[in-house]
């Protein structure tokens, strides 16, 4: 088998070949490292490449290469969060997911570019430059796990780890034409994930198809004593011929309102028709609190970020001024002012505003009440349905530079993904069509800890369609930029 | 909610961030736009709903109190900008 064809296979297919001894782990790693070299200039998907990091471990993922978003701690490998303040930070311990994947025999090929501290929807707020979409390098790969989605779409890795606080795995997966799942809150340990919004953050895999995501997630999920919010969780890889016959799927009216572009509506409703054709029962429902989710989310996520990011002082780690004439406060303020980018500062200030005396009840507490009502909305629908389906994003990938100057417009583009994090549910984005040549994703949402069920439903859909196997033209990533 | 330069400067100070004059104007505009949108929640009469801080129902979830090794001191110090063999060196706190 030649190198080019190896990088076109899904992680699930490669796993089968590796298990049977048809190909060697070194061959597979070499093929993907060569593809990383070829496509890094065009995509800027990686911040760090780990050449030759080969652990000869036998396990369920033995020999399968992957890369991890650069907010997931890797012992001895720089972990920057795409921020200047952590640009030289080298963790002294591994995140649990990294340990688990190493124990399964997976090989880490590098660390992926992202929005600074996972704050952004386009991967343009990175200190290391924007990620470019392999389908059109003039467009965003989405964010904040833009590097993860772009790397999988470009064939640089068969699967990647992202993190999702408000859509950061699903939205870039939609924009890059790949499959990505945000697991149930608590399904995957957050130990070693550099915190943004701790009540919302989850690590999850991005791959070409649902079976590959399930394979990766099965090696990552489960209880970890170092994260008190993690719970027992078994992931099943969807069987061949998996069926969704008789499954009840809800379509929320509010998610198909005017803000949705016609192209996305057409693609997602097309997916709904396919699922109906496979035997699913689809009905329209109401989710009235959906329209308040963005406001509540940006209050809660920013408030948690303001608290979490107060640890960055440049004293114990991180970039620091070494001027001995400055006192402690002056050093900390200077480190933070020079170390954080504009979007991070904006969210820290939004969070501190919402938590400050006089505004706490009107903003933070009110947002927590909206969260309670939103969770009730979802629970009401899930009493009668197995899944909810709606768009992942209101449009396809925007052009680079289009989104940064209007923060509110960028936040509003997260309207379909943030409600899921607030309710702690699992959700998956799967390719369901093209709009003006750019990929569009449909979002399948399940009950808490029904991660395997949504992966199975997505596998059934992907068995009947080929949107997930469409790839950007080779020329797109060979453009000199 | 009226967001002005004074409030923005106050929040920047709470956040441990210093903004240049031009940044202060831009940040005031950004906060005004985003907080203005957040004010859409004012329309909801939900004072009787209990705030939900977490989706999980766990309370005081603890692990067994077992002795285990912690990260070695030398490793902890490796990323500090200024240090001795044993301690992180901080800038002067007084004066």
Q: How confident is the model at residue A2, as a pLDDT?
A: 64
pLDDT in tens, A336-356: 999 999 999 999 999 999 999
**Structural domain count, chain B:** 1
Examine residue A345 and state whether it is found in any structural domain, yes or no: no
* Contact assignment for A328 to B46 by CB distance below 8 Å: no
Examine residue A365 and state whether it is found in any structural domain, yes or no: no
Please state, in angstroms and rounded to a whole number, the distance separating the CA atoms of residues A281 and A261. Answer: 25
Averaged pLDDT of chain A = 95
Instruction: Enumerate residues 409 to 468 of chain A having a beta carbon within 8 A of any beta carbon in chain B.
Output: 411-412, 423-424, 448
Q: Which of A74, A84, A92 to mutate to test the interface with B (most CBs of B within 10 A)?
A: A92
Examine residue A163 and state whether it is found in any structural domain, yes or no: yes
Pick from A292, A349, A412: which is nearest to B41 by CB? Answer: A292
* Active-site residue (options: A29, A83, A144, A173): A144
Averaged pLDDT, A405-434: 96
Examine residue B21 and state whether it is found in any structural domain, yes or no: yes
Q: pLDDT band for A53, please (50, 70, 90 cuts).
A: low
pLDDT in tens, A131-172: 999 999 999 999 999 999 999 999 999 999 999 999 999 999
Averaged pLDDT, A224-239: 96
Q: Containing domain of residue A139, as a range?
A: 3-287+376-477
Examine residue B19 and state whether it is found in any structural domain, yes or no: yes
Q: How confident is the model at residue A480, as a pLDDT?
A: 42
pLDDT in tens, A2-12: 656 999 999 99
Closest CA relative to residue A412, chosen from A262, A293, A283: A293
Q: How confident is the model at residue B60, as a pLDDT?
A: 85
Cα separations (Å) of A137 from A64, A76, A433, A470?
27, 32, 19, 17
pLDDT in tens, A60-91: 999 999 999 999 999 999 999 999 999 999 99
Pick from B1, B16, B51: which is nearest to A333 by CB? Answer: B16
Closest CA relative to residue A194, chosen from A49, A94, A299: A94
Query: Measured between CB atoms, does A256 come within 8 Å of chain B?
Result: no
Is position A144 annotated as part of the catalytic site?
A: yes
Q: How confident is the model at residue B63, as a pLDDT?
A: 86
pLDDT in tens, B50-78: 999 999 988 888 888 999 999 999 999 99
* Contact assignment for B91 to A373 by CB distance below 8 Å: no
Which residue of chain B comes nearest to A223, CA vs CA?
B63
Percentage of chain A surpassing pLDDT 70? Answer: 96
Q: How confident is the model at residue A40, as a pLDDT?
A: 98
Instruction: Enumerate residues 117 to 146 of chain A having a beta carbon within 8 A of any beta carbon in chain B.
Output: none
* Contact assignment for B79 to A199 by CB distance below 8 Å: no
DSSP per-residue letters across A327-391: -HHHHHHHHHHHHS-HHHHHHHHHHHHHHSTTTIIIIIIHHHHHHHHHHHHHHHHHTT-SEEEEE
Please state, in angstroms and rounded to a whole number, the distance separating the CA atoms of residues A172 and A435. Answer: 15
**Residues of chain B neighbouring A354 (CB-CB closer than 8 A):** 38
Give Cβ neighbours of residue A336 (< 8 Å, ≥ 6 apart): A85, A312, A313, A314, B15, B16, B17
Query: Measured between CB atoms, does A345 come within 8 Å of chain B?
Result: yes
Q: What is the CATH number of the domain that holds A176?
A: 3.90.1300.10
pLDDT in tens, A176-201: 999 999 999 999 999 999 999 999 99
Q: How confident is the model at residue A447, as a pLDDT?
A: 98
Examine residue B33 and state whether it is found in any structural domain, yes or no: yes
pLDDT in tens, A401-412: 998 889 999 999
Examine residue A48 and state whether it is found in any structural domain, yes or no: yes
Q: Which of B30, B39, B59, B84 to mutate to test the interface with A (most CBs of A within 10 A)?
A: B30
pLDDT in tens, A255-285: 998 889 999 999 999 999 999 999 999 999 9
Instruction: Enumerate residues 20 to 39 of chain B having a beta carbon within 8 A of any beta carbon in chain A.
Output: 27, 30-31, 33-35, 37-38
Examine residue A467 and state whether it is found in any structural domain, yes or no: yes
Percentage of chain A surpassing pLDDT 90? Answer: 93
Examine residue A455 and state whether it is found in any structural domain, yes or no: yes
Examine residue A297 and state whether it is found in any structural domain, yes or no: no
Q: pLDDT band for A481, please (50, 70, 90 cuts).
A: very low
Examine residue B18 and state whether it is found in any structural domain, yes or no: yes
**Is the alpha carbon torsion for A23, A24, A26, A29 positive or negative?**
positive
Averaged pLDDT, A229-247: 97
A70 Rama sector, left if φ>0, alpha if ψ -120 to 50, beta otherwise: alpha
Helix, strand, coil abundance in chain B, percent, nearest 5: 40, 0, 60
Closest CA relative to residue A178, chosen from A44, A60, A11, A43: A11
pLDDT in tens, B18-42: 999 999 999 999 999 999 999 999 9
Please state, in angstroms and rounded to a whole number, the distance separating the CA atoms of residues A140 and A403. Answer: 10
Q: How confident is the model at residue A52, as a pLDDT?
A: 59
Q: Containing domain of residue B18, as a range?
A: 5-42
Is position A19 annotated as part of the catalytic site?
A: no
Instruction: Tell me the residue ranges of DSSP E strands in A166-325.
Output: 179-182, 202-207, 248-252, 281-285
Asked if residue A56 has pLDDT above 70, the reply is no
**Structural domain count, chain A:** 1
* Contact assignment for A310 to B90 by CB distance below 8 Å: no
Please state, in angstroms and rounded to a whole number, the distance separating the CA atoms of residues A83 and A318. Answer: 10
* Contact assignment for A349 to B44 by CB distance below 8 Å: no
**Helix A11-19 to helix A210-220 angle, to the nearest 10 degrees?**
70
Paired strand residues for A440: A433
* Contact assignment for B18 to A334 by CB distance below 8 Å: yes
Whether the Cβ atoms of residue A121 and residue A131 lie closer than 8 Å to each other? no
Examine residue A232 and state whether it is found in any structural domain, yes or no: yes
């Amino acid at each position: 088998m030649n190198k080019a064809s190896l990088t076109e296979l899904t992680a699930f297919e490669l796993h089968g070949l590796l298990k049977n001894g048809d190909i060697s782990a070194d061959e597979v790693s070499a093929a993907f490292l060569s593809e990383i070299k070829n496509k890094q200039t065009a995509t800027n998907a990686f911040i760090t490449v780990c050449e030759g990091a080969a652990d000869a471990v036998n396990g369920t993922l033995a020999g399968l290469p992957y890369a991890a978003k650069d907010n997931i701690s890797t012992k001895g490998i720089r972990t920057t969060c795409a921020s200047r303040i952590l640009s030289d930070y080298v963790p002294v311990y591994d995140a649990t997911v990294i340990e688990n994947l190493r124990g399964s025999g997976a090989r880490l090929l590098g660390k992926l570019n992202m929005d600074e501290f996972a704050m952004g929807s386009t991967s343009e707020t990175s200190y290391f430059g924007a990620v470019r979409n392999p389908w059109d390098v003039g467009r965003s790969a989405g964010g904040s796990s833009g590097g993860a989605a772009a790397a999988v779409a470009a064939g640089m890795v068969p699967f990647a780890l992202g993190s999702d606080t408000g859509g950061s795995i699903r939205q870039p997966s939609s924009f890059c034409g790949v499959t990505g799942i945000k697991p149930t809150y608590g399904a995957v340990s957050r130990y070693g994930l550099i915190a943004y919004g701790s009540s919302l953050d989850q690590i999850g895999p991005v791959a070409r198809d649902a079976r590959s995501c399930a394979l990766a997630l099965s090696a990552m999920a489960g209880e970890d004593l170092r994260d008190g919010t993690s719970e027992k969780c078994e992931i099943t890889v969807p069987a061949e011929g998996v069926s969704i016959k008789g499954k009840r799927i809800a379509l929320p009216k509010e998610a198909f309102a005017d803000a949705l572009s016609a192209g996305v509506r057409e693609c997602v409703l097309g997916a709904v028709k396919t699922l109906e054709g496979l035997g699913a029962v689809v009905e329209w429902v109401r989710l009235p609190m959906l329209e308040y989710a963005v406001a509540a989310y940006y209050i809660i996520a920013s408030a948690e970020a303001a608290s979490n990011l107060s640890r960055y002082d440049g004293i114990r780690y991180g970039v620091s001024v070494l001027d001995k004439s400055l006192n402690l406060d002056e050093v900390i303020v200077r480190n933070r002012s020079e170390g954080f980018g504009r979007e991070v500062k904006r969210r820290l200030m939004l969070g501190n505003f919402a938590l400050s005396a006089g505004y706490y009840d009107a903003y933070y507490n009110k947002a927590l009440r909206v969260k309670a009502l939103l969770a009730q909305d979802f629970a009401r629908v899930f009493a009668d349905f197995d899944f909810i389906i709606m768009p992942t994003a209101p449009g396809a990938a925007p052009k680079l530079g289009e989104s940064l100057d209007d923060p509110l417009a960028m936040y509003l583009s997260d309207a379909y993904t943030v409600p899921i994090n607030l309710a702690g549910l699992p959700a998956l984005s799967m390719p369901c069509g093209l709009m003006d040549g750019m990929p569009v994703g449909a979002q399948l949402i399940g009950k808490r800890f029904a991660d395997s069920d949504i992966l199975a439903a997505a596998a059934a859909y992907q068995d009947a369609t080929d949107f997930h196997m469409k790839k950007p033209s080779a020329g797109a990533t060979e453009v000199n930029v | 909610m009226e967001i002005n330069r004074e409030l923005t400067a106050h929040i920047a100070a709470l956040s441990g961030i210093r903004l240049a004059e031009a940044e202060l104007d831009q940040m005031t505009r950004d906060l005004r736009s985003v907080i203005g949108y957040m004010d859409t929640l004012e329309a909801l009469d939900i004072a009787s709903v209990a705030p939900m801080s977490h989706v999980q129902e766990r309370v005081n979830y603890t692990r067994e109190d077992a002795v285990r090794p912690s990260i070695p001191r030398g490793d902890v110090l490796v990323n500090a900008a200024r240090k001795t063999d044993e301690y992180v060196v901080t800038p002067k706190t007084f004066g």
